[in-house]
Amino acid sequence: MFGQSFTVARIFGIAIEINPSWLIIVAIISFSFSNNVFPDQYEGWSTATYWAIGITTAALFFVSVLLHELAHALVAKRRGVDVPKITLFIFGGVSHMAEQPRSAREEFYIAAVGPLSSVGIAIICGLVAWVAFGRQEQVEAMFVWLAGINAMLAIFNTLPGFPLDGGRVFRSIVWGRTGSFRKATTVASNVGVVFGYIMIIGGIALALGGFVLNGVWFAFIGWFLSSAARNEAQSLQLESVLSPLTARDIMDRNFATVTPGASLQQVIDRHMVIDGHRAVIVANDDRVLGILTVSDVRKLEPAERANTAAQAAMTPRSDVVTVPAGTPALEVLMLISEKRLNQVPVLEEGRMVGLISRREILDRIQVANKLGFMPGSSVDRRLG
């Protein structure tokens, strides 16, 4: 998400992870409670008290966010969907489900319990504030705010902008009506994207109206939501296009091979410019020595290219990431994006049989998309 998260606890077998971006929001919220909110509302506390109450309120707020996520996770687990971890990050919390929900009903319950739990927490905090009212000013201050924030959390999460809880509830309803998980995801994520844009526009309007910080924050969340919604639709599409395929199905068998002694300029002229290969294999007879890519070539000054041999500029085989021909296509794509590769040679019994390039996979998905082609969608099959 934003840097490497670290695990801080384990509850009901679920790892509780904290993303570094979370620390920023904890600091901002603690600071604004201690320095602005409470001093503006309540007079006569000591500085230490403002800070102690401010930090405690921020901490309890994050406990509420965690409880909200745990509610999702526990309902999911009860229904047999594993939840390996919950991550707290700058925009709140995320429960990671090991798989997509298997039925509309299942998704409905898992999503709906989130806002409900926030409503429950808001009511409990409201009761505590009510009991403390006029008796214990600090407790009153903390719980009035916690009740308010949790109520807002509940309302915000009820909005139909996928991937918010409300958007998931919306998807489950469309799914239930149409019987198609894919169609429901497309509809829900389109609504989510629009919702994100509305938040961005609203944020800009707020900022122009003088509420700069709130406006920027609003727009930032809108941007995050719209890209999350778009990602969800895309990854589903990827999954349905790629899941029946293996590396063998998507590799290019017509890769170019050059000898180790070939001049770089020749390789560029013939293979890269004329034939359009972004990578060629450097091999001696059947023995692959390495791969020469456009980025390898670009490391050299144009003047040097004429008298450099392919072998001198290539990435040696020991440094090249390869995959066996039977690797699922989705795994290859994940490898490519994780390691930021442009192409991956495909091996079969130690021999190189093809080349997969990032560009070609993406082209294939685009073509499939344009043709409305969804091969026997394994996703719908799995979800039943």
Binding segment for Zn ion among 160-168, 266-274, 337-345, 368-376 (CB under 5 A)? 160-168
Q: Cβ of residue 92: shortest distance to Zn ion, in angstroms?
A: 8
Binding segment for Zn ion among 161-169, 267-275, 355-363, 371-379 (CB under 5 A)? 161-169
Cβ proximity to Zn ion: between 51 and 62 the closer is: 62
Between strands 257-258 and 92-96, the pairing is: unpaired
- To 10 degrees, what angle do helices 212-242 and 358-370 make? 90
DSSP characters for 253-291? S---EE-TT-BHHHIIIIIIIIS--SEEEEEETTEEEEE
The C-alpha torsion from 62 through 68 and 71 to 76, rounded to 10°, is -110
Binding segment for Zn ion among 111-119, 124-132, 227-235, 272-280 (CB under 5 A)? 111-119
Tokens linked to 14? 């679920």
Q: Cβ of residue 151: shortest distance to Zn ion, in angstroms?
A: 14
Q: Cβ of residue 359: shortest distance to Zn ion, in angstroms?
A: 37
Cβ proximity to Zn ion: between 64 and 327 the closer is: 64
Q: Cβ of residue 239: shortest distance to Zn ion, in angstroms?
A: 23
CA 358 to chain centre: 19
Residue nearest to Zn ion (CB): 114
Q: Cβ of residue 16: shortest distance to Zn ion, in angstroms?
A: 15
As a whole number of angstroms, the distance between CA 188 and CA 172 comes to 9
Q: Which position among 17, 140, 165, 296 is part of the footprint of Zn ion (CB under 5 A)?
A: 165
Nearest to 146 by CA among 118, 177, 114, 117: 118
Cβ proximity to Zn ion: between 54 and 93 the closer is: 93
Residue 287 CA: distances (Å) to CA of 52, 103, 225, 321, 351: 69, 51, 49, 16, 8
Q: Cβ of residue 157: shortest distance to Zn ion, in angstroms?
A: 5
* Share of the chain residues as helix, strand and coil, in percent rounded to the nearest 5: 60, 15, 25
As a whole number of angstroms, the distance between CA 295 and CA 91 comes to 37
Q: Cβ of residue 344: shortest distance to Zn ion, in angstroms?
A: 37
Q: Cβ of residue 343: shortest distance to Zn ion, in angstroms?
A: 39
Is residue 17 at the binding interface for Zn ion, with CB under 5 A as the rule? no
Cβ proximity to Zn ion: between 81 and 241 the closer is: 81
Cβ proximity to Zn ion: between 71 and 141 the closer is: 71
Q: Cβ of residue 178: shortest distance to Zn ion, in angstroms?
A: 24
Binding segment for Zn ion among 14-22, 23-31, 165-173, 189-197 (CB under 5 A)? 165-173
Cβ proximity to Zn ion: between 153 and 291 the closer is: 153
Is residue 167 at the binding interface for Zn ion, with CB under 5 A as the rule? no
Helices H / strands E in the chain, number of each: 16, 11
Find out whether 181 and 211 touch, Cβ atoms under 8 Å.
Answer: no
Binding segment for Zn ion among 108-116, 178-186, 287-295, 369-377 (CB under 5 A)? 108-116
Is residue 114 at the binding interface for Zn ion, with CB under 5 A as the rule? yes
Between strands 343-348 and 351-357, the pairing is: antiparallel
Find out whether 331 and 299 touch, Cβ atoms under 8 Å.
Answer: no
As a whole number of angstroms, the distance between CA 197 and CA 10 comes to 36
Binding segment for Zn ion among 2-10, 145-153, 158-166, 178-186 (CB under 5 A)? 158-166
Residues at the contact surface with Zn ion, assessed by CB under 5 A:
114, 165
